[in-house]
Structure 1
Amino acid sequence: MDIWIETERLILREYIASDWKMIHGYAQQEGILIYENWGPNSETDTKEFIANVLELNQASPRTSFELAIVLKEEALLIGGCGFRFDTKQAHKGNLGYIINPLYWRNGYAAEATNALIRYAAEELAVKTIEATCDVLNLASQAVLKRCGFFRIRLIKKHFEMKGRMRDTFVYERNT
């Protein structure tokens, strides 16, 4: 199943092998990954990410949907988003997103997230979606609130990440 989701300004589509170059443009930037438990990536890390995604796309049943975020008019990959089914609850899953910092503050994360929510609800019959966020990541918290998520809990000292213990907010929204 090839996924192609269009919004006013974006296309969410399946990754292709050559996307690693555009992904690596932001995945190697230490400064933007301070809230992520991955990165900064080496070229090998980014190529392995793409290889893993392409393999997951072939799984049956498919439980992970990682998509490139592309500016429609420019046909330019500016980020990624993904939805993953919860292994314990059939109608539940989680989502995440990342946008190249060159394109921050344009509403692209919220636009992509809302499109992914609609897809999960309409095509995958998902009823509940979770998202997690570093408590220090105010921009991501704002995106989640804008997309109708509610903070449901705080996980103190969730895990060690980049030399500190990360506290994590858990958000949820019903479709």
Structure 2
Amino acid sequence: MSNFEKVETNRLILREFIEADIQGVYQYASDPDVSKYEPWGPNSLKQTEEFVRICIEYQHQKDRVDFELAVTEKSSNKLIGACGLHISDKGNREGWIGYVINKLYWRKGYGTEIAEKLLDIGFNEFKLHRIYATCHPNNLGSEKVLQKIGMKKKGCLRKNMWCKDSWRDSLLYAILEDEYNQG
């Protein structure tokens, strides 16, 4: 799969980014609450434009391995976040997932819905063997999502990321293909 047709969940559509998404992305990416545990942000409009440009460039990768997608709510057609599936090691069939949601849409189960769909795509379409995700140790909402989708905590990567002028830890979660298929 080199290009991503829109993918639907019960309440969401995951689709390729387009230039018209810049303002929707800027709405959440410029919010300090949303970017609190992220290595980026709060983003300026210029940084947001650059992010969307990179996401559009991913769509033209030969042997594509980076899928950064816009998340829209079906009922309103409003862009509410972004998510990604990145194939980090083709030979070992390994990838990682991530997601970010506008705070107006937190605590509605959207993170879980997104992450479940990313696992489905990773295991069923890309035939990955292992998918992992990381989150800031204080990001309890994201950690709960990773647990809900069946990922197991593998440990803490100590001071593995330079983030906003200091080193930060990351919790590492992962799930294997056979664990996913048993679930």
- Confirm or deny a common fold (TM above 0.5): yes
Is the 2:34–2:100 Cα contact (8 Å) retained in structure 1?
no
Task: Tell me the residue number matched to 1:23.
Answer: 25
What stretches of structure 1 of length at least 5 have no aligned partner? none
Aligned equivalent of 1:79, options 78, 81, 92:
81
Unaligned runs of 5+ residues in structure 2 are 178-183
**C-alpha distance in structure 2 between counterparts of 1:88 and 1:121, whole Å:** 13
Distance 1:78 1:23 in 2: 8
Q: 1:2-21 maps to which residues of 2 (within 5 A)? A: 2-21=4-23
- 1:156 is aligned, of 141, 158, 163, to 158
| Deviation at residue 46 of structure 1 after TM alignment | 0.4
Alignment TM-score, normalising by the size of structure 1: 0.95
Q: Note the C-alpha offset of 1:73.
A: 1.5
SS of 2:47 mapped into structure 1: helix
State the alpha-carbon separation in 2 of the partners of residues 130 and 89 from structure 1: 16
* One-letter identity of the residue aligned with 2:72: V
Letter in 1 for 2:67: F
Q: How does 1:30-69 map to 2 (within 5 A)?
A: 30-69=32-71
User: What's the offset of the Cα at 1:161?
Assistant: 1.7
Aligned to 2:174: 172
C-alpha displacement of 1:34 = 1.4
Distance 2:169 2:152 in 1: 17
Q: TM-score, normalised by structure 2?
A: 0.91
2:102 is matched with: 100
- Residue identity over aligned pairs, in percent, reads 37
SS in 2 for 1:51: helix
Residue identity in the other structure for 2:137? V
Counterpart Cα distance in 1 of 2:26 and 2:50: 11
- Contact 2:22–2:48, Cα closer than 8 Å, also in 1: yes
Question: RMSD of the TM alignment (CA)?
Answer: 1.3
Partners of 1:89 and 1:165 in 2: how far apart?
30
Q: Which amino acid aligns with 1:25?
A: Q
Find the aligned partners of 2:13 and 2:166 in 1 and give their Cα distance. 36
